[in-house]
Amino acid sequence: MKRYHTKGNIIFDSIIYVVMILVLLLCLMPFIYMLAVSLSDPNAIINNKVSFFPIGLNFEAYKQIFTYPNFFKAYGNTIFYTVGGTLISLIMTSLFAYPLSKTVLAGQKVAMKMVVFSMFFSGGLIPNYLLISNLGLTGTRFAMLLPFAINQFNLIILINFFKSIPTEIEEAALIDGLGYFKILGKIVVPLSKPALATIGLYTAVFFWNDWFNGLIYLNTSQFPVMLFLRNIVNGTSMIGDAAGSADKATIAISIKSAVIITSTLPIIILYPFLQKYFVKGLTVGSVKG
Amino acid sequence: MALTENRTKRENNRQKHFKRYWQLYAMMVLPIIYFIVFKYIPMFGNILAFRRYRPGMGAYGVSWVGLKYFKMFMQDPAFWRAFRNTLTISLGNLIINFPIPIIFAILLNEVHHVRFKKVVQTVSYMPRFISTVVVIAILSEMLSPSSGLLNMFLQNTFGIEPIYFMNEPQYFRWLYILTDTWQFTGWTAIIYLAAITGISADLFEAARIDGANRIQQIFYVTIPSIMPTIMVLLILNVGRMLSLGFEKVLLMYTPSNSQVSDIIDTLVYRTGLANQNYSYATAIGLFSGIIGIILVSSSNAISKKLTGDGIY
């Protein structure tokens, strides 16, 4: 250890720490800026005074989006899609992953090939769009949920995880007279919490962030919050109607920031708790399926 | 005699097999239906590229037209522009965003303060979880000519007049690439970090005994040891060249930057969904899908041959 604190090492370490602090700042800066803008006085924004601290602290923008009925509706829609979509996806993925983890089954290899092939070749935008509309899902909330019931990458992560569970436990359960449905529900799923948390997080983030499918399949009242935000950014959705036209632009900026903050907050809050799982999930997933 | 015996034996075995595992087969019913309906039917839907579509006459068109739509887009300057743009953006993206996560992972690995390392890791992964809509919304606010941070800074420090970054074509590619850097550097670095963690400590020890300093250790131990990982990811990235972040481009697209921002996917979106030219758009989509699958499978084959490792 004595040799460690040489001059060269100290310089090297300093450079690395400077770089890492820069990375930290770069990753956090946009959020801090948005937070500052969303909490600032519109006059301070228009005079270009706001950088990383809110100037003239006010909660007007938040008050306004919370009185905005469409925002609430969109937020509720997003929660619905995220919870519903994640649940459906976890159930369907487990139902497929468990049998696929058993190589004794006839057709297991074919099914695996079918899954992998569909990862690399897909219908493309138009055939998918025509399928959804021919199924009559356009304009229903199912259009957001059903097409994404199974993600192939998540499926492969879960198959690999299920394969790593010792078969002795299942054999004991089989001797005790449990069927495979019960084994899956009562033994395999509880043992797979880390893997399920990982793919559950990926799935939840996917549903939370999705806007494009809402854009092409849904009616305005069913829009998720990201599409609401995108429409504000595009200027296709009017905001700040209550204010005079001169203030509109600046109020619009702070409202935009407030929507950005509120629509991203759940992920930022949830994410540190689940972080320990997903790194594991990614490295498991990178092992070939 | 022996033959029939064998057959009945086999049938008995099959019956036994099914009796034993029927629940596992039953589990697969819904997922298989899902795959057929939502993954495989759209694949067959691609035949629309060879058929003429008529509104209200089904999803598979009304009559065969052969390669008409393929010939059409081959002669369409808008297609070639989108094709060029796709290649330019993905090549630029590869050149810039391929090495950065490697450098980041190597440097992060040199941080010995465990807590600090964890904090940097946690924060650097986070942007990966942010919606593209939010990323572009933040970007457009930070670059806004009237109130954005960057223009404010440029004006106060250098006295530069506000620039409309989001609208001017010359900034589009940089903005696309740099937002990718911001969003995915930390995330991609996870794989390299895992590879670095797997390097045997003996190698570093030996290098130290030979008198290598830390920079030399990076160049003579760390980088050569993670070279297989780097190669696999490089080849796979090349394979995914045509699949750009479609949603991001769509969000950044404005009529004034369309010269550089129209990529194959946005072209499919505009001709297909906005102008309802379904067959034409399907043909373009199918073409880029096939090129994509050729790129992925050949790069995977190369990766397997060179490094013994691929994704499937």
User: Which ipTM value was assigned to this complex?
Assistant: 0.88
Q: Which residue of A has its CA nearest to B279?
A: A126
Q: How far apart are CA A147 and CA A213, in angstroms?
A: 10
Q: Give the per-residue SS3 of chain A.
A: CHHHCCHHHHHHHHHHHHHHHHHHHHHHHHHHHHHHHHCCCHHHHHCCCCCCCCCCCCCHHHHHHHHCHHHHHHHHHHHHHHHHHHHHHHHHHHHHHHHHCCCCCCCHHHHHHHHHHHHHCCCCHHHHHHHHHHCCCCCCCHHHHHHHCCCHHHHHHHHHHHHCCCHHHHHHHHHCCCCHHHHHHHHHHHHCHHHHHHHHHHHHHHHHHCCHHHHHHCCHHHCCHHHHHHHHHHCCCCCCCCCCHHHHHHHHHHHHHHHHHHHHHHHHHHHHHHHHHHHHHHHHHHCCC
Q: Which residue of B has its CA nearest to A46?
A: B147
Q: Which residue of A has its CA nearest to B285?
A: A124
| A33 has a pLDDT exceeding 60 | yes
Average pLDDT of the residues in A170-182: 91
Three-state DSSP at B143 gives: coil
A279 pLDDT tier (thresholds 50, 70, 90)? low
Q: How far apart are CA B48 and CA A130, in angstroms?
A: 10
The vertex-A209 CA angle with B133 and B181, nearest 5°, equals: 55
List the one residue out of A269, A99, A145 whose CA is nearest residue A201.
A269
Contact A98, A162 (CB under 8 A): yes
| A256 has a pLDDT exceeding 90 | no
The pLDDT score that the predictor gives to residue A247 is 52
Residue B273: both structure tokens together = 């969904």
User: Chain A closest CA to B4's CA: distance in Å?
Assistant: 22
Contact criterion met (CB < 8 Å) for B17 and A286 = no
Contact A46, B144 (CB under 8 A): no
List the one residue out of B180, B192, B90 whose CA is nearest residue B128.
B180
The pLDDT score that the predictor gives to residue A110 is 94
| A95 has a pLDDT exceeding 50 | yes
Q: Where are the alpha helices (DSSP H) in chain B?
A: 2-35, 41-45, 68-74, 77-97, 99-109, 114-125, 132-142, 149-158, 169-197, 201-209, 214-217, 223-239, 246-252, 258-261, 264-268, 278-307
| A188 has a pLDDT exceeding 70 | yes
pLDDT along chain B (312 residues), means of 10: 71 86 94 96 93 81 89 93 94 95 95 91 90 92 82 83 85 94 93 91 91 90 92 85 87 89 93 91 93 87 78 64
List the one residue out of B133, B93, B99, B46 whose CA is nearest residue B242.
B93
Q: How many CB atoms lie within 10 A of CB B191?
A: 21
Contact criterion met (CB < 8 Å) for A120 and B296 = yes
Q: Does B138 touch chain A (CB under 8 A)?
A: yes
The pLDDT score that the predictor gives to residue A236 is 61
Q: Does B282 touch chain A (CB under 8 A)?
A: yes
Interface test with A, best of B134, B152, B215 (most A CBs within 10 A): B134
End-to-end CA gap in chain A: 43
User: Chain B closest CA to A190's CA: distance in Å?
Assistant: 18
Q: Does B33 touch chain A (CB under 8 A)?
A: no
Highest mean pLDDT (candidates A1-10, A24-33, A41-50):
A24-33
Task: Name the region of A68 (left: φ>0; alpha: ψ -120 to 50; beta: rest).
Answer: beta
| A246 has a pLDDT exceeding 60 | no
A226 pLDDT tier (thresholds 50, 70, 90)? very high
Amino acid making up residue B307: T
Q: Which residue of A has its CA nearest to B191?
A: A283
Interface test with B, best of A5, A51, A105, A126 (most B CBs within 10 A): A126
User: Chain B closest CA to A185's CA: distance in Å?
Assistant: 12
Contact criterion met (CB < 8 Å) for B137 and A233 = yes
The pLDDT score that the predictor gives to residue A1 is 44
| A288 has a pLDDT exceeding 60 | no
Q: How far apart are CA A107 and CA A109, in angstroms?
A: 5
Average pLDDT of the residues in A104-121: 91
Low-confidence winner among A113-122, A231-240, B31-40, B211-220 (lowest mean pLDDT)? A231-240
The pLDDT score that the predictor gives to residue B33 is 97
Phi, psi (deg, nearest 5) at residue A114 = -65, -40
The pLDDT score that the predictor gives to residue B256 is 87
pTM: 0.89
Q: Which residue of A has its CA nearest to B143?
A: A30
Which residues 61-100 on chain B approach chain A with CB closer than 8 angstroms? Answer: none
Q: Does B292 touch chain A (CB under 8 A)?
A: yes
